[in-house]
Amino acid sequence: MEIDDILERFYPLPTHSRNALKAHISEVSYGKGHALLRAGRVEKSLYFVKSGMVRAYSDPEGGDVTFWFGKEGDVVLSMKSYVAGQEGYEHVETLEPCDLYQMQTRHLDALFVTDIHVANWGRKLIEKELIRTEERLISMQFKNAQQRYLDLMTQTPDLLQRVPLCHIASYLGITQVSLSRIRAEIR
């Protein structure tokens, strides 16, 4: 996905504002299994996924817990690092070879001060991420595992082809055995 298309997904920008953003964006590529963000660090970059798949997870003592997948067009950032300037709690790794657009958060902050269109774009980006987080929280609180799996099949069916089942089970908050049972019941 091209950067212009990704930027427009969040909020339409006048050409001069889009170009100001793009002036601070570079392309990077990483292989499968690359640690893009690490917990316990204040991350200084954000990324947009051009191609590939990433996952965000935390690793409490009982094993890692996946809580987000990102694919083409998605933004990847440590919200706690960006908003609060504090160490993030999440790891983000590439699940496939990835081509990404990278931007330093300090450049984005500078553009927020000088360009109202970029500031509005940033507000819309954060609002959409907040809604996604809220929907995930509500799903985990009020839907059972089978309902969450059916939602995943309906809303993002490509994840089932691109993501190992162990990560999908973790994302759904269940074991792989439970996921296998659910999949067998649905067939």
Give the pLDDT confidence score for residue 59 in this predicted structure: 87
In a domain, 76, yes or no: yes
Q: What tokens appear for 10 in the block?
A: 């969040």
In a domain, 185, yes or no: no
In a domain, 13, yes or no: yes
In a domain, 152, yes or no: no
Which residue carries 């706690």 as its tokens?
A: 80
* Total structural domains within the chain: 1
pLDDT digits (tens, 9 = 90+) for 146-187: 999 999 999 999 999 999 999 999 999 999 999 999 999 988
Give the pLDDT confidence score for residue 187 in this predicted structure: 80
In a domain, 166, yes or no: no
In a domain, 163, yes or no: no
In a domain, 149, yes or no: no
In a domain, 70, yes or no: yes
Q: Which of 55, 57, 59, 65 is nearest to 159 (CA)?
A: 55
pLDDT digits (tens, 9 = 90+) for 103-134: 999 999 999 999 999 999 999 999 999 999 99
- What percent of the chain has a predicted confidence (pLDDT) above 70? 99
Give the pLDDT confidence score for residue 185 in this predicted structure: 93
pLDDT digits (tens, 9 = 90+) for 2-13: 999 999 999 999
Which residue carries 């964006």 as its tokens?
A: 25
Cα separation, 79 vs 164, in Å, equals: 25
Domain containing 92 equals 3-142
Please indicate, yes or no, whether the overall pTM of this predicted structure exceeds 0.85. Answer: yes
CATH number at residue 42: 2.60.120.10
